[in-house]
Amino acid sequence: MNLRARRWLVRGAWALAFAGPPLLRVAWEGRVELRAADEAAAAGDTDARIVHLGRALRWRLPLGDADERAIAGLLEVADAAEADGDPTTALVACRELRSGLLGSRDWSVPHADVLAAVDARIAALMAATVPTRADEAEQLARLRVASEASPLRASAAALAFVVWMLAAVAFLRRGVDAKGRLQQPAATRLGVLVLASLLAWLWAW
């Protein structure tokens, strides 16, 4: 194996060591929550199903499908509840869906079309179940204002993630030689930055 190939192999191993654990955790937790939601559905426990689907939605991972399956499940719960004449449960499912979408946003909201539709649905359900409060149009206006509010913590998480990735790349380029040995002092400085940005990302997220 030539020096260039060895260098890329070493860098790939370090990249896997940095990125693998948190990404695997996100993927694993999403699957665990989806499985728990299926078990709750089989047991007829709608409340628990909603909770687990909401958690699965928050464990969103690019190229993963846990969030999409959670969205489909929550919409299914809402549809079934409305069909059974239970608008309260439908409202709970829609609110959990909305909360999950807003809770997993970064600089933008994932599935913005779904959020817009669920905002309208929540407004209609609230107007129907709590008629003494604001009408449907006013409820929808309030929901949209809240949905469009600046996601400061989510933006901080996204920024920390970007810093983490850049620091990891810099560590692989400057902190490790072709034989996988640490190059000081760059390795220590960049390693601290990688760890700090990773912790900041996990905290803000």
The string of pLDDT tens digits covering residues 91-122 is 999 999 998 888 776 555 667 788 889 988 88
Alpha-carbon distance 4 to 15, whole Å? Answer: 16
CATH number 2.30.170 is the correct assignment for the domain at 25-149:
no
Task: Tell me the domain boundaries of the chain.
Answer: 25-149, 155-204
pLDDT score, position 103: 74
Alpha-carbon distance 60 to 70, whole Å? Answer: 10
Q: What is the mean pLDDT of the segment spanning 133-139?
A: 57
What tens digit of pLDDT does each residue of 154-204 get? 667 777 777 877 888 788 777 777 666 777 888 888 888 888 887 887 676
Alpha-carbon distance 114 to 71, whole Å? Answer: 9
Give the chain's mean pLDDT. Answer: 77
Alpha-carbon distance 175 to 86, whole Å? Answer: 60
Position 31 confidence tier, pLDDT thresholds 50, 70, 90: confident
